[in-house]
Amino acid sequence: MDTSVTLIGLAITLLIGIPLVLVLRSNISNKNKIKNIKKQYSLNNYYNFEQSETQNKKILSIDQKNKGFLFIDFSYKMETAYFVDLKNIILCNTIVTKSENPRTITKVEIEFVHKDTMKKELIPVYNVENHFLDFNCLYEDHKLAVKWVNIINDCIL
């Protein structure tokens, strides 16, 4: 009887333990990727991306002192990183693109307007093609974009 209880306990422990180990390993791997990308864009430790936020496999970081913005997106098949030197930016906006149906949002982007050239640079925060009409991600990513546009505009001024 003690053997069967021990085997059942061991089986339950393995059923719970193996997924936990896999999740922790993946989490450590992602943290290392984020750390390496931040180090790559810090330009010899000039930028210190201390204020960061993570949501839906997206990481937004800003260095308010040296005016640098970093956006990392792991939600696509390939991770993408965008760096913007905010010293050269005059304006930052949230751009929402809708489909033929005016109620369906297909893209949410952060738009940066450069001082000298007035050239616009768009960073995609949400794209319906990559999220398969996940309305929770749309809502959260839209709120995240609006929040960070306000943070960036406060840093620019």
Q: Give the span between the Cα atoms of 70 and 40, in whole angstroms.
A: 11
CA angle 44, 42, 61 (to 5 degrees): 165
Comparing 79-93, 105-119, 131-145, the range with the smallest average pLDDT is 131-145
Rg (the chain; Cα; Å): 21
| Structure-model confidence comparison of residues 58 and 101, the more confident one | 58
Kindly indicate the confidence band of residue 42, based on its pLDDT and cuts at 50, 70 and 90: confident
Cβ neighbours around 56 below 10 Å, total: 17
Mean pLDDT of the chain, nearest integer = 87
Q: Give the span between the Cα atoms of 136 and 139, in whole angstroms.
A: 5
At residue 134, the pLDDT reads: 63
**Beta strand ranges found along 74-157 (DSSP E):** 80-85, 89-98, 105-114, 120-127
Kindly indicate the confidence band of residue 106, based on its pLDDT and cuts at 50, 70 and 90: confident
Kindly indicate the confidence band of residue 94, based on its pLDDT and cuts at 50, 70 and 90: very high
- Helix H or strand E encompassing 72: strand 68-73
Instruction: Over range 61-90, report the average pLDDT.
Output: 88
Task: Read off the pTM.
Answer: 0.80
At residue 107, the pLDDT reads: 87
Look at residues 31, 152, 33 and name the one whose alpha carbon lies nearest to residue 81. Answer: 33
| Structure-model confidence comparison of residues 92 and 127, the more confident one | 92
Q: Is the pLDDT of residue 76 over 60?
A: yes
Q: Give the span between the Cα atoms of 99 and 40, in whole angstroms.
A: 37
- Helix H or strand E encompassing 61: strand 58-63
